[in-house]
Amino acid sequence: MIFSKVMYRQIDIKLALLFFAFILGSCAKNPVSGMPDFVTITEQQEIEMGRAYHREIIKNSKILENKELNKYYVELGEKIAKSSHRPDLDWKFTIIDDPTMNAFATPGGYVYFYRGLLAHFNSEAELAGVLSHEIAHITARHAVRGMSTAQVTGLLIGLAASRVPGGSISDSGFNLLNVIVNKGYSRKYESEADDIAKDYLGRNGYNQNAMANFLETMKSADDLEKEIAEKEGRPASGGYHGIFSTHPSTENRIEAMNKTASASGEKNKEEFLKMIDGLPYGTSDDEGYVRYNVFYHPFFAIKFTFPEGWALDNLPDKLIVRKNNSEAIMISDNILRDDIENGLTPKDYLDQNIDETSFLSRNTLIEQKNINNTLPGYTYLYETKSLSEKSYIRYTVFFDIDDNDKKPKAWIFIKRFKDLNDDNQLKVIEETFGKMTEDEIVRAKGLRIKVIRFRNGMSYDELAGNSPLGRYAEGKLRLLNGHYPVGEPKVGDLIKIVE
């Protein structure tokens, strides 16, 4: 027994010595600070990791097809990168065609902006500020340092098996990078990137207040999202970099940046706004879009109206129309022409699919009927009772079977609500669901940013009244121009509207 304790003590000492040897061997000079950093990943591994991650992003994302805007964005990014602490990296700058308000960077020199974020800048200096911030995450090796720390946590458990991290780029390392990129960096790293970004802005002759101005806009975006979410009875979603969760408070970051930022330097407001004139706003045309409470999908040539005061979320696999705790979900299903030729009807389709569940034994049918508009349809309304409450669910299906160029489709709506008045409001969907005309398809175009000059007599209230953005148009227009919740442009200023 004494021998065993001595043996274990010797093993512990060896493990400790190996651990400290690993620590000492893993120190590298930080490119920004010049101080030693603990990292378990070489620069070449960092570059390979970024390259592998980039391939996945390109495979799974739609890249913006706008040669002029892409050229402008890439050249601006390269200019800042060449003035950074790591100018010799093979920098890559990509715009993802998605309405998300976000940007991120991955190791090795890869920077990504979502189209939705571009619409909310109000000068080239603001764009340069966020580019500088993302570039700073790479030059300071934040992802690599974060991964190294996470790997060391696992080192104490895995060391006896000699699984020393950093020897290769494994699936676990790739997954760890994915978590770090998508969850955002620590407060320390975000603040550090802010400070480096100020430096890069100054090096390139831009107004160093630009990053703080952008953070003000993102704080306003958070405030507007909270206001809308409260009115719609849903949780608020996060913003840029998850900025309102793990990051330092936005007010503190703005204050810290303004303390040492120089107000001199270029902003290039008009040049930037002219560049994004015509930029798609919201979902792109081929994903379907909303205009004045009408949803259009030109590829499938379908359209329908949803009630005012309800919000529509266009997700990759479904649509959700919602207000408070009521919602209508639209999904699609391919159906066989053989089944249609052998007499399958919309009612048959619902009967087959509802009967496959235990739904019928727990709910009471209170309405069923054919729907006679441009597409054949059928609907069922069920009531569900419990000891404390009563709720309803309506199933509706439309058959879209006359387009020989596309597979026959079943368009299914599943509506859940507690108040039959919500059902009455949602009936406008069934009443208007149908095919787009050839002329509508030819003219189909989603929402676009339009840059105009603010003239005498204009106001956000008047612009909102003529906007296709619907219920929250004024707040969204103010946010786009950096004037939320209050403020007005000066006569002669360029501003963004949506049309």
Same domain, 202 and 237: yes
Tell me, what's the pLDDT at 180? 65
Q: Of the candidates 276, 298, 322, which is a domain's last residue? A: 276
Q: Does residue 347 surpass a pLDDT of 90?
A: yes
Same domain, 270 and 403: no
Tell me, what's the pLDDT at 363? 86
Region 142-171 average pLDDT: 50
Same domain, 411 and 357: yes
Q: How many structural domains comprise the chain?
A: 3
Same domain, 262 and 303: no
Buried b (16+ CB within 10 A) or exposed e, 463-476: bbeebbbbbbbbbb
The whole domain housing 484 covers 449-498
Same domain, 266 and 359: no
Confidence category of residue 76, pLDDT binned at 50, 70, 90:
very high
Q: What is the CATH number of the domain that holds 351?
A: 3.40.1000.10
16 belongs to a structural domain: no
Same domain, 438 and 457: no
Q: Two tokens at 178?
A: 């994915």
Tell me, what's the pLDDT at 163? 38
Q: Does residue 246 surpass a pLDDT of 90?
A: no
5 belongs to a structural domain: no
Tell me, what's the pLDDT at 237? 74
Q: Which helix (H) or strand (E) holds 132?
A: helix 124-139
Tell me, what's the pLDDT at 177? 66
How far is 477 from 311, CA to CA, in rounded Å? 17
Pair 147, 41: CB distance under 8 Å:
yes
Q: Does residue 27 surpass a pLDDT of 80?
A: no
> Which has more pLDDT, 191 or 66?
66
17 belongs to a structural domain: no
Same domain, 135 and 220: yes
Q: Does residue 264 surpass a pLDDT of 70?
A: no
The percentage of the chain sitting over the pLDDT mark of 70, rounded to a whole number, equals 80
Confidence category of residue 34, pLDDT binned at 50, 70, 90:
low
Residues 6+ apart with CB under 8 A from 238: 244, 245
364 belongs to a structural domain: yes
Q: Does residue 158 surpass a pLDDT of 60?
A: no
212 belongs to a structural domain: yes
Tell me, what's the pLDDT at 165? 40
> Which has more pLDDT, 221 or 176?
221
Confidence category of residue 175, pLDDT binned at 50, 70, 90:
low
Q: Does residue 114 surpass a pLDDT of 90?
A: yes
Tell me, what's the pLDDT at 252? 75
Amino acid at 415: K
Which DSSP symbol is given to 266? B
Same domain, 314 and 260: no
Instruction: Please state which of the ranges 4-18, 271-285, 306-320 shows the lowest mean pLDDT.
Output: 4-18
Q: Of the candidates 253, 276, 299, which is a domain's last residue? A: 276
Same domain, 373 and 347: yes
365 belongs to a structural domain: yes
Same domain, 208 and 298: no
Amino acid at 119: A
How far is 93 from 96, CA to CA, in rounded Å? 10
478 belongs to a structural domain: yes
Q: Of the candidates 402, 423, 443, which is a domain's last residue? A: 443
Average pLDDT over the chain reads 84
Dihedral of alpha carbons 242, 149, 188, 194, sign: negative
98 belongs to a structural domain: yes
Dihedral of alpha carbons 101, 488, 276, 440, sign: positive
Tell me, what's the pLDDT at 373? 83
pLDDT tens sequence across 399-411: 999 887 789 999 9
Q: Does residue 62 surpass a pLDDT of 80?
A: yes
How far is 419 from 290, CA to CA, in rounded Å? 26
Same domain, 289 and 227: no
pLDDT tens sequence across 279-337: 999 988 889 999 999 999 999 999 999 999 899 999 989 999 999 889 999 999 999 99
Same domain, 374 and 482: no
Residues 6+ apart with CB under 8 A from 242: 183, 184
> Which has more pLDDT, 76 or 157?
76
